């Protein structure tokens, strides 16, 4: 590419941004947003610097697309905030908060009033309305109902080394921190899973599942090992 060709490309990109501006889209820095011609953005949406919107993405009204976010061939509902995250071939409902540093991989469908927090990765999975995964979780090949809490460190273990498997979590369930759900499993509505559990069987509605080694305290172990007098 020559410099003249580059200048023409930049002029075309800026013209696309100006067209969005004139339709009511707000830019913090119009010169640093990269928006494909086919993208649709609703009035009142705020675009922060270094945002990339690719393909036939549709962004609703009154959204906030935070700095360094990338959205490709996805649909975003009205009033949703996306903070420094990547969304690819997915759909996000209204008034939902994504990020920072979340990753929605192809086939993800997130409902209304949800939260997908920092360092949460979702792949080919669905969230019902009001479901929250606030931080540090992986949800793959699963259908999660409405009003579910997915705790910190939860992993949906969807791959056995050869095949992918799918799990289901019912409405109102609670998945405690550092839980492994070894797919395929079915966690029924309003079931609770204790933190630190590895779940390999279905959990009935309203039940508490605990699947972890019982704690043992070995009295005097530190002194016996000589660990109180470490060499400096």
Residues designated as active site: 135
Q: Could you tell me which of 114, 31, 9 has the C-alpha nearest to residue 139?
A: 114
Cα 111 → chain centroid: 12
Query: What are residue 198's phi and psi, to 5 degrees?
Result: -115, 110
Separation between Cα atoms, residue 83 and residue 109, nearest integer Å: 18
- 213 burial type by CB count under 10 A (0-12 exposed, 13-18 middle, 19+ buried): exposed
Q: Are 131 and 150 in contact (CB under 8 A)?
A: yes
CA distances from 222 to 131, 186, 215, 218, 232 (A): 43, 42, 17, 9, 17
Q: Are 190 and 170 in contact (CB under 8 A)?
A: yes
DSSP state of 161: S
**Hunting for tokens 């990339």 — which residue is that?**
52
């Amino acid at each position: 590419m020559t410099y003249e060709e580059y200048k023409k490309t930049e002029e075309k990109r800026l013209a696309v941004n100006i067209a969005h501006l004139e339709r009511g889209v707000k830019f913090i820095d119009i010169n640093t947003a990269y928006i494909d011609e086919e993208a649709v953005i609703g009035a009142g949406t705020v675009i922060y610097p270094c945002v990339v919107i690719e393909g036939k993405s549709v962004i609703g009204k009154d959204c906030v697309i935070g700095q360094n976010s990338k959205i490709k061939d996805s649909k975003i509902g009205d009033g949703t905030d996306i903070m420094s995250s990547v969304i690819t071939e997915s759909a996000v409902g209204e008034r939902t908060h994504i990020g920072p540093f979340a990753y929605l991989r192809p086939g993800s469908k997130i409902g209304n009033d949800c939260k997908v927090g920092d360092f949460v990765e979702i792949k080919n999975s669905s969230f019902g309305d009001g479901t929250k995964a606030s931080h540090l979780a992986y949800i793959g090949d699963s259908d999660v109902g409405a009003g579910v809490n997915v705790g910190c460190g939860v992993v949906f273990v969807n791959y056995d080394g050869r095949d992918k498997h799918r799990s289901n979590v019912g409405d109102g369930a609670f998945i405690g921190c550092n839980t492994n759900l070894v797919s395929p499993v079915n966690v029924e509505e309003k079931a609770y899973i204790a933190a630190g559990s590895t779940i390999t069987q279905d959990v009935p509605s309203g039940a508490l599942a605990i699947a972890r080694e019982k704690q043992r305290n070995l009295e005097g172990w530190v002194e016996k090992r000589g660990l109180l007098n470490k060499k400096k």
